[in-house]
Amino acid sequence: MSDIRNSPFLFTVGAFVALFVTIQSLVFIAGAWKEGKRLGLSATIMRKALSGSAVFSVVPSIAILLAVLTLAGALGLPLPWIRLSVVGAITYELPAAETAAQAFGTTVKTSITDPTVFSAIAWAMSIGSVFAMILIIIFAKSIQSGIHKAQIKDTAWSGLLISAMFMGLISAFLGNALGGGLISILALLSSAAVMALFGLAIKKAGFKQLENFAMPVSMLSGMAVAALYALATGGVAS
Amino acid sequence: MSTGTTLTESQYDINIHRNGRLWMLAAILVTQGVPLAISLYFDVWPPFGTLLAGLVPTIIVFWPIAIIEVLTYTPMLGSGGTYLGFVTGNLSNLKVPAAISAMQQAGVEPSTKEGEIISTLAVGASSLVTNLVLVLGVVLMSYLLPVLESPALKPAFANLMPSLFGALGVVFISRNWKISVAPLVLMAGLFIAVPTLPVGILIPVGALVSIAVARLLYRKGMV
């Protein structure tokens, strides 16, 4: 079977998903606009909210596009495009894809050309992210009406819990990278160093607008160092 | 008609939850329909047991995070913003800051009727822009596919994981280094000793260790 990752069929599915998201956004904007007028909000304020948010979103959206690019080597273009158009974020999609790939004895470090593994990764990414949507259907109304507000009283602990969960995930993958040899350690250290520089620039020098680019640029730097190192050593490291 | 800021239930409130749930249901069908379409069209069905083994680590880590995200972001985004934002994703890095910034600029508060409207408009506009940027970017990048697949870039993509987690590590370690030490030392030791260990099994182990350490330090007032 030819490579299904970049097949016209998958691009068509991607276009359908993009259309779905566009229509939903337009329907919600129209509904909110109508209700806003009924409440007496001026058209100027509402137009400002729309245009302000649109401008605000351009740079982070380019960062999301770069995340699509990082996944494209393993999974082709359409699947990362679809996943980052709905529900996803790179910090979820990549670990989800990798753990699924590993269950099938492979890794997203290589191009996923086996159709069965590719479909398994698509299933894993999709099923893994459905839980929040189910919770919203069941609980969003009651949360909005205040019933569940009490449950998150201890915000300090819930914030720490998220950090701890991520730290478990990160430590497993960092350990894995250390076991991956010199090139893998170089990529890790380079991206960490670039992220640390971004951190300094954002926190110490006040360049807040760099925030959105910190993650994708750090990732691309790590990847670029790996490619350059392989080139310099004649492709022995991969 | 009430123009006040308290949340008494209007027709909009009733409709937004009914329509929001329908849209969310449709979004579940669309998102789960993508792998289904792949399996049906290409006639490839991954063996269930292996798929489940690959899915369990993701569920263990990300489903509890989903609960906290729902409880945290729903009051911030309002009803419309929630039903739309949780479909279009990228919440913490885009939708939530976009909504909060729009509400600040409009001088309205979250969890008010006006906040609900401004937040929904902001999340909607943000989703449209992301969609547009991604569509344009993917069209452009489809011409670059041969470059992306070139042998020179293979080592770059082969090191995608260390590149993500190197950067993510810096973010989380600098945020709270005390809870990072134990899981990091444990995992580094394990992988240096046995480099072929499957990550999937070690993710829940790492998560349990860091949660236990975090709880301990939290109780002692050290974090």
Q: Is the CB of B115 inside 8 Å of chain A's CB atoms?
A: no
Express each pLDDT in A198-231 by its tens digit: 999 998 888 887 877 888 899 899 999 999 999 9
Answer whether A106's CB lies under 8 Å from B158's CB. Answer: no
Report the gap between the CA of A207 and the closest CA in chain B (Å). 16
Is residue A176 one of the residues assigned to a domain?
A: yes
Report the percent of chain B where pLDDT is more than 90. Answer: 54
> Can you tell me the mean pLDDT for A91-114?
91
Predicted confidence at residue B90, as pLDDT, reads 86
Q: How many domains does chain A have?
A: 1
A22 to chain B: closest CA residue: B128
Amino acid letter at A116? T
Interface test with B, best of A13, A26, A106, A174 (most B CBs within 10 A): A174
Answer whether A202's CB lies under 8 Å from A236's CB. Answer: no
Predicted confidence at residue B8, as pLDDT, reads 55
Predicted confidence at residue A235, as pLDDT, reads 57
Express each pLDDT in B153-195 by its tens digit: 889 888 888 998 899 899 889 988 999 999 999 999 998 888 8
Predicted confidence at residue A179, as pLDDT, reads 80
Interface test with B, best of A148, A169, A200, A231 (most B CBs within 10 A): A169
Is residue B57 one of the residues assigned to a domain?
A: yes
Predicted confidence at residue B130, as pLDDT, reads 95
Q: How many domains does chain B have?
A: 2
Domain interval for residue B102: 11-143
Predicted confidence at residue A210, as pLDDT, reads 81
Rg of chain B in Å (alpha carbons): 22
Predicted confidence at residue A91, as pLDDT, reads 84
A87 to chain B: closest CA residue: B89
> Can you tell me the mean pLDDT for B14-37?
96
Question: Do both B62 and B166 map to the same domain?
Answer: no
Is residue B1 one of the residues assigned to a domain?
A: no
B195 to chain A: closest CA residue: A179
DSSP assigned state of B195: T
| Beta carbons of A144 and B179 less than 8 Å apart | no
Whether the pLDDT of residue B5 is over 50: the answer is: no
Q: Is the CB of B14 inside 8 Å of chain A's CB atoms?
A: no
Is residue A99 one of the residues assigned to a domain?
A: no
Question: Do both B112 and B190 map to the same domain?
Answer: no
B63 to chain A: closest CA residue: A131
Express each pLDDT in A24-49 by its tens digit: 999 999 999 999 999 999 999 999 99
Predicted confidence at residue A238, as pLDDT, reads 43
Domain interval for residue A213: 154-238
Predicted confidence at residue A153, as pLDDT, reads 63
Question: Do both B172 and B215 map to the same domain?
Answer: yes
| Beta carbons of A54 and B129 less than 8 Å apart | yes
Is residue A109 one of the residues assigned to a domain?
A: no
B3 falls in which pLDDT band (50, 70, 90)? very low
> Can you tell me the mean pLDDT for A114-128?
96
| Beta carbons of A191 and B55 less than 8 Å apart | no
Q: Is the CB of B206 inside 8 Å of chain A's CB atoms?
A: yes
Per the structure block, which two tokens stand in for A143?
Answer: 């949360």
| Beta carbons of B120 and A169 less than 8 Å apart | no
CA–CA separation, A69 vs B60, rounded Å?
Answer: 27
Q: What are phi and psi of A107, to 5 degrees?
A: -155, 155
